[in-house]
Chain A
Amino acid sequence: MTSKFVDTPIPPLVAEVEKWQLRFFAKAVGETNPIYFDEVAARAAGHPSILAPPTYAVTLSLCETDPYARYRSLGIDWCRMLHAQQGFEYFGPIYAGDRIRFESRIVDFIQRRQGRLKFLIEETEAWNQDGALTTRFRKTIVIRGPETAQ
């Protein structure tokens, strides 16, 4: 069953890539390669600044005050959401100092088992300040109905 959610416009988000946040991210995941947290090392390796790691675009796309508002507005309780799948296509790097514009849309919303399981698929493109597409990512979220909770 398709749904009214599909192609619901999601307002674009523009976010700056901050050095401190890349450092914090590197610390949180135990990163040891300094191109991901040390600007001097990144430059020495030929990068213009600290390089954002492969999954960082998702983090940046969540930098709104309330990134879950879009799901609540669809009637989805965020405590029942589980991340089922995530995929990225890469077209160019993201560096500290970049301004990234995220354009998202819901590409599918599928209900299974009489609505007790729902799957929401959202696709996002991340464009940089020069108008270049850096990455496109696809998030699949599963929403458990209340009756499926243990």
Chain B
Amino acid sequence: MIEHAGQVAVGDCLPTLIKPPITRTTLAYFCGASNDHNPLHIDPDAARAAGMEDVFAHGMLNMAYMGQLLTGWVAQACLRSFEVKFGAIVRLGEQLVCNGEIIDKQLREGGCRVVIRLLATNQAGEEKLSGEAVVELPVLETAQTTGA
């Protein structure tokens, strides 16, 4: 886990997070666990009636996966903002591959503000989710002088 600003630099990438393929079971669990009971995600009949081929992942499931990319890298208390655009639906059998890259780092009073560009694709590299997160990291004097 990243603990202070000296451990990160612009251009650094977060360790890639690869989630298992989406199954109907995944969606059934997330329906119950997330309170999002929209039938488009669990009932193929409802999905087809709405013009979709089949059920597909909840946007907030994909965002929860992206959140795990962040909280696996830095303590959640450092997170200041987190936003995503749901660019394309994630279908059954698709796997979300979550990536983040540091695109800005600014020293401020009381800490260091780090901006992370987020991108999630399926296993074939097709873009599904894009976004941005801001974290604030403490600055250690020693870390600054050793220049990480």
**A residues bordering B, Cβ < 8 Å?**
21, 24-25, 27-31, 33, 51, 53-55, 58-60, 62-63, 67-68, 78-90, 93, 138, 144, 149-150
Contacts and interface: CB of A to CB of B under 8 A. Distances in A.
Interface in B90-107: none
Interface residues of B, number: 41
Nearest to A52: B76
Contact of A86 (B30, B35, B59, B70): B59
Interface of B: 19-20, 26, 29-30, 32-36, 38-40, 46, 49-52, 58-61, 63-65, 67-68, 70-72, 76-77, 79-86, 89
A95 to B, nearest CB: 11
A46 to B, nearest CB: 10
A25 B83 contact: no
A90 B81 contact: yes
A149 B51 contact: yes
Contacts of A88: 81-83
B30 A85 contact: no
Contact of A87 (B49, B52, B67, B83): B83
A90 B80 contact: yes
B53 to A, nearest CB: 9
A17 to B, nearest CB: 12
A18 to B, nearest CB: 11
A59 B64 CA distance: 11
B78 to A, nearest CB: 9
Nearest to B36: A62
Nearest to B61: A29
